[in-house]
């Protein structure tokens, strides 16, 4: 009798186990992480733009708008910070971006968000722009924790030919593709296909990294025709690019809904940096006109350590889990790895010491941010740090320049308060210098000067190194 009961119990457990495992898997949220490329803070409808972004607006209105969400001032550093949960200064990716002719990438000893989530049982996909290493296949997404990859390895692709400087930069699962189509539409369609084929019993992490609205400014005629009322040709095309991205986000959300996955999907959306306000970062401009991005009340844009370059348009949405609200608390992109890992029940073992912290209560409930400091970036020639309300921007190259701002009182950074606050300046200078003492040499500058000086150059070579000025004949 006892043995019969034991056999019956074992059979019941065996039958129940798959269902229990499925239910357990279903408790892990799907994660749809959307990154726009060079999108201005004020270039979405919910920030007052004339650009139509109904899908993004709905996500914002039904979720949390993250009004003090900080990123790095350029593409590669922000994406590296997201993937590692660590400031890029820790591993040499703090300066500029990886150029097509350069061979470095995010170091192989850094454990990435994709690897953390894959180890937690997630199906992991990157659809879109990588820009964290392209010269060596060991640096590619498929080798860094992504089960599936589709899109550009570098980034500044022609939106119709998918080429960078005449070379195709378009791949699926490590294989180069030659296919027609507008990049934004192709990425959205591929994301829909991936969701349609996905097994909902397994949690999904999709990193959907659009190349819009990065230069070159290009859009299909059907989207350009929607914005005939915009006189400036660059602004018109830029608006069309943003609107096309919004349409593809709508299609992806509809696919999640049809698959029965939407209610258990956490959606994060933000830009990788501020919109372009300097001609130095404009890239290809196909038509005459002004630089089109609008960063709202914030100073400057992409590439700058001011708010316009580093405060990104951002939101979080998860039906029933994130209440509709405006979150006006300082948050940083490095916080996303520990925050997402905690929601996924994932271990961060194997990562290097994280600079990010779990900000879930701030995002979901509007609680005060646990983050007391924002590191905008630290490089060999400049740095910026904010503690509390106070932000110091320090340009160290001659002529050196110090600027101190009270960010809540002066978000446009118009009034330099250095003279009135010498102790705050000294404290923040010390903090920047301490971070500089911890940072690894910039791989961008190392590669740039080695390339220029050739094989006779000592390593590392930087303009402020004694070795640079001690070159032999």
pLDDT category, 29, cuts 50, 70, 90?
Answer: very high
Determine the average pLDDT of the residues in 31-48: 98
pLDDT category, 18, cuts 50, 70, 90?
Answer: very low
- In this structure, which topology does domain 379-438 adopt according to CATH? Arylsulfatase, C-terminal domain (3.30.1120)
Our measurement of the distance from residue 49's CA atom to the centroid of its chain's CA atoms, rounded to an integer in Å, reads 22
pLDDT the model gives residue 1:
39
Return the structure tokens found at 471: 């070159």
Determine the average pLDDT of the residues in 421-429: 98
Output 13 or 256, whichever has higher pLDDT.
256
pLDDT the model gives residue 463:
52
pLDDT the model gives residue 448:
84
Using the Cα atoms of residue 77, residue 83, residue 87 and residue 91 in order, give the sign of their dihedral: negative
pLDDT category, 468, cuts 50, 70, 90?
Answer: very low
Average pLDDT, the chain: 91
pLDDT the model gives residue 27:
83
pLDDT higher than threshold 50 for residue 414: yes
How does pLDDT run across 129-147, given as a tens digit for each residue? 999 999 999 999 999 999 9
pLDDT the model gives residue 462:
54
Nearest Cα neighbor of 206 from 132, 146, 271 is 146
How does pLDDT run across 160-197, given as a tens digit for each residue? 999 999 999 999 999 999 999 999 999 999 999 999 99
pLDDT higher than threshold 50 for residue 440: yes
Output 164 or 21, whichever has higher pLDDT.
164
Determine the average pLDDT of the residues in 395-405: 95
pLDDT higher than threshold 70 for residue 455: no
Return the structure tokens found at 39: 């999108």
**Which stretch of 156-170, 332-346, 448-462 has the lowest confidence by average pLDDT?**
448-462
pLDDT the model gives residue 22:
34
Return the structure tokens found at 32: 């749809």
CA distance 283 to 34: 23
pLDDT higher than threshold 80 for residue 52: yes
pLDDT higher than threshold 80 for residue 342: yes
pLDDT higher than threshold 50 for residue 24: no
pTM for the whole structure:
0.91
pLDDT higher than threshold 60 for residue 31: yes
Per-residue burial over 257-280, b if 16 or more Cβ lie within 10 Å, else e, is eebebbebbbbbbbbbbbbbbeee
User: Please, which residues bridge with residue 317 across strands?
Assistant: 267
pLDDT higher than threshold 90 for residue 466: no
Percent of all residues in the chain with a pLDDT value above 70, rounded to a whole number = 88
pLDDT the model gives residue 450:
73
pLDDT the model gives residue 288:
66
Sheet strands side by side (includes 311-312): 311-312, 69-70, 331-332
pLDDT the model gives residue 287:
55
pLDDT category, 373, cuts 50, 70, 90?
Answer: very high
> What residue segments make up the domains of the chain, in order of their start?
28-372, 379-438
Determine the average pLDDT of the residues in 239-244: 98
Determine the average pLDDT of the residues in 274-281: 84
Enumerate residues 6+ apart whose C-beta is below 8 A from 451. 101
Tokens 């949405």, located at residue:
317
Active site residues: 75, 131
CA distance 468 to 457: 8
Nearest Cα neighbor of 285 from 274, 295, 293, 273 is 293
Return the structure tokens found at 68: 């003090």
CA distance 191 to 115: 20
pLDDT the model gives residue 451:
61
Match domain 28-372 to its CATH number in 3.40.720.10, 3.40.50.720, 3.40.50.300, 3.40.640.10.
3.40.720.10
pLDDT higher than threshold 60 for residue 386: yes
SS (H, E, C) the chain: CHHHHHHHHHHHHHHHHHHHHHHHHHHCCEEEEEEECCCCCCCCHHHCCCCCCHHHHHHHHCCEEECCEECCCCHHHHHHHHHHCCCHHHCCCCCCCCCCCCCCCCCCCCCCHHHHHHHCCCEEEEEECCCCCCCCHHHCHHHCCCCEEEECCCCCCCCCCCEECCEECCEECCEECCCCCCHHHHHHHHHHHHHHHCCCCCCEEEEEECCCCCCCCCCCHHHHHHHCCCCCHHHHHHHHHHHHHHHHHHHHHHHHHHCCCHHHEEEEEEECCCCCCCHHHCCCCCCCCCCCCCCCCCCCCCCCCCHHHHEECEEEECCCCCCCEEECCCEEHHHHHHHHHHHHCCCCCCCCCCCCCCCHHHHHHCCCCCCCEEEEEECCCEEEEEECCEEEEEECCCCCEEEEEECCCCCCCCCCCCCCCHHHHHHHHHHHHHHHHHCCCCHHHHHHHHHHHHHHCCCCCCCCCHHHHCCCC
CB 316, CB 335: distance < 8 Å = no
């Amino acid at each position: 009798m006892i043995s019969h009961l034991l056999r019956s119990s074992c059979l019941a457990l065996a039958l129940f186990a798959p269902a229990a495992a499925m239910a357990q898997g279903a408790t892990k949220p799907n994660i749809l992480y959307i990154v726009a490329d060079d999108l201005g803070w004020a270039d979405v409808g919910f920030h007052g733009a004339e650009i139509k972004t109904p899908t993004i607006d709905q996500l914002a209105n039904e979720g949390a708008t993250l009004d003090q969400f900080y990123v790095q001032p350029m593409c590669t550093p922000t994406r590296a910070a997201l993937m590692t949960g660590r400031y890029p200064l820790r591993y040499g990716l703090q300066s500029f971006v990886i150029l097509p002719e350069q061979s470095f990438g995010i170091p192989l000893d850094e454990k990435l968000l994709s690897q953390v989530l894959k180890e937690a049982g997630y199906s992991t996909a990157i659809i879109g722009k990588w820009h964290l290493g392209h010269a060596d296949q060991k640096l590619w997404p498929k080798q860094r924790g992504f089960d599936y990859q589709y899109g550009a390895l570098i980034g500044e692709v022609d939106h119709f030919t998918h080429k960078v400087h005449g070379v195709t930069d378009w791949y699926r699962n490590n294989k180069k593709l030659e296919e027609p189509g507008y990049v934004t539409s192709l990425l959205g369609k591929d994301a829909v296909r991936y969701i349609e084929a996905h097994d909902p019993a397994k949690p999904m992490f999709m990193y959907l990294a659009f190349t819009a609205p990065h230069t070159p400014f290009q859009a299909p005629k059907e989207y350009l025709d929607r914005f005939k009322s915009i006189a400036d040709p660059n602004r018109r095309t830029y608006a069309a690019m943003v609107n096309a991205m919004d349409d593809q986000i709508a299609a992806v959300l509809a696919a999640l809904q049809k698959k029965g996955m939407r209610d258990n999907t956490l959606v994060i959306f933000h830009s990788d940096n501020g919109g372009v306000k300097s001609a130095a970062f404009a890239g290809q401009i196909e038509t005459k006109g002004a630089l089109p991005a609008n960063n709202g009340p914030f100073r400057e844009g992409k590439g700058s350590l001011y708010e316009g370059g580093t405060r990104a348009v951002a939101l979080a949405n998860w039906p029933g889990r994130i209440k509709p609200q405006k979150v006006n608390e300082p948050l940083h992109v490095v916080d996303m790895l520990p925050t997402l890992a905690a929601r996924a029940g994932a271990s961060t073992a194997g990562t290097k010491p994280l600079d990010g912290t779990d900000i879930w209560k701030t995002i979901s409930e509007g609680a005060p941010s646990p983050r007391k400091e924002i590191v905008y970036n630290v490089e060999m020639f400049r740095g910026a740090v904010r503690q509390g309300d106070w932000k110091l921007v320090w340009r160290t190259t001659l002529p050196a320049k110090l600027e101190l701002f009270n960010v809540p009182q002066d978000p446009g950074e118009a009034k330099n308060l250095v003279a009135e606050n010498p102790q705050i300046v000294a404290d923040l200078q010390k903090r920047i210098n301490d971070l500089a003492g911890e940072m690894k040499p910039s791989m961008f500058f190392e590669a740039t000067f080695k390339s220029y000086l050739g094989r006779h150059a000592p390593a590392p070579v930087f303009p402020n190194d004694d070795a640079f000025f001690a070159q032999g004949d």
